[in-house]
Amino acid sequence: MGSPDVGATIDTIRLGLGGLHPGERRVAEEILARPGEVADLSAADLGQRCNTSAATVVRACKSLGFQGFQHLRMLLVRDAGAAAAAAAPSAESAPGPLDRLLEEMHQALVRASHTVDREQLHAAAEMLAGARRIVLVGSGTSASLVQWGVLRFSSAGIPLEAPTDPAAQIVVCRLLGTEDVCLAMSDSGMNRNTVDAVRAARKAGAGIVSITGHGRTAVAAEADISLVVQSPGVWNSISTVGGLVQALVLGALQELVADRRGLGPAPRAVVEAEIFTSLAPDRPENH
């Protein structure tokens, strides 16, 4: 790969964490934890910190897509200089939680615009549009995304199944066929329940589409089509905004599937009318 965009070096490392061997993972995690210090170290010094060798440090950098450790150091120094030039606000004018989260969301959207492969997105829509059955799975912090996806797809006239119990997810996915598709949501890409459900779908011969916050993870590796949003958190953290961006990708996927199935606005209009009646049953127009 060429050099990542200014400020994107740390995100590049996070994106590749899932595909590293244990020794290489320790190196990457040390870089993420102390990028400023690592920029001043030699490969041997960093290897000693991580209880590994200089050769492993170099391999880790190459596995992450860099030319080597010196290339990574150069990028860390570059990004640190750019961050300093951006001039962080003073303590008196520091943004509150809402402003900070809005800025994180803005940055996450910018990253997603670069990391989500448009060809893969359309290929996923094509697979889902032709599916006999669609099973949507996700656990942990992704469970709420699954429920939102059910409402989004169903209200557009696209039926899908979304069992909430982890065991039920495995059972349903294992009984899929070659004309069916498992759609998996996982910010970390490593959730044990989701991995098991996806592997059950793989054994059944079903197609698999994944939406994850990180590449080179177990869920992404099992998928026929992997859509990587690149969450701002490390793979095992609870990201505040990562799930929101994945929801946008899921929404875009729903619109593409509806278009390929020739579904117009009629299903959504029926649903909206039904919801309106339920929420305001005493309005004259509802009688």
Most confident of 33-42, 105-114, 215-224, 248-257: 248-257
185 alpha carbon, distance to own chain's centre: 8
Of 125 and 12, which is predicted with more confidence?
Answer: 125
Which tokens sit at 94?
């520091």
Which tens digit of pLDDT belongs to each residue from 44-67? 999 999 999 999 999 999 999 999
Q: Quick one: pLDDT at residue 229? A: 84
Q: Does domain 9-88 have CATH number 1.10.10.10?
A: yes
Which tokens sit at 144?
């709420």
Contact indicator for 224, 209 with CB cutoff of 8 Å: yes
Helix/strand/coil for 94: coil
Least confident span in 78-87, 145-154, 168-177 = 78-87
Band of pLDDT at residue 287, cut at 50, 70 and 90:
very low
Which stretch of DSSP H or E encloses residue 51? none
Q: Quick one: pLDDT at residue 28? A: 95
pLDDT for 160 beyond 80: yes
pLDDT for 154 beyond 60: yes
Q: How distant, in Å, are the alpha carbons of 36, 40, 87, 89, 242 from that of 82?
A: 13, 17, 9, 15, 24
Of 277 and 107, which is predicted with more confidence?
Answer: 107
Which tens digit of pLDDT belongs to each residue from 193-246? 999 999 999 999 999 999 988 777 889 999 999 998 876 555 445 556 778 888
- pLDDT averaged over the chain? 86
Distance separating alpha carbons of residues 182 and 171, to the nearest angstrom = 12
Amino acid occupying residue 268: R
pTM: 0.66
Band of pLDDT at residue 112, cut at 50, 70 and 90:
confident
Domain ranges of the chain: 9-88, 111-275
Amino acid occupying residue 58: V
Name the CATH superfamily for 111-275: Glucose-6-phosphate isomerase like protein; domain 1 (3.40.50.10490)
Distance separating alpha carbons of residues 126 and 130, to the nearest angstrom = 6
Of residues 110, 85, 124, the one with CA closest to residue 252 = 124
Contact indicator for 143, 164 with CB cutoff of 8 Å: yes
What are residue 210's DSSP bridge partners? 184, 226
Q: Quick one: pLDDT at residue 20? A: 92
Helix/strand/coil for 58: helix
pLDDT for 126 beyond 80: yes
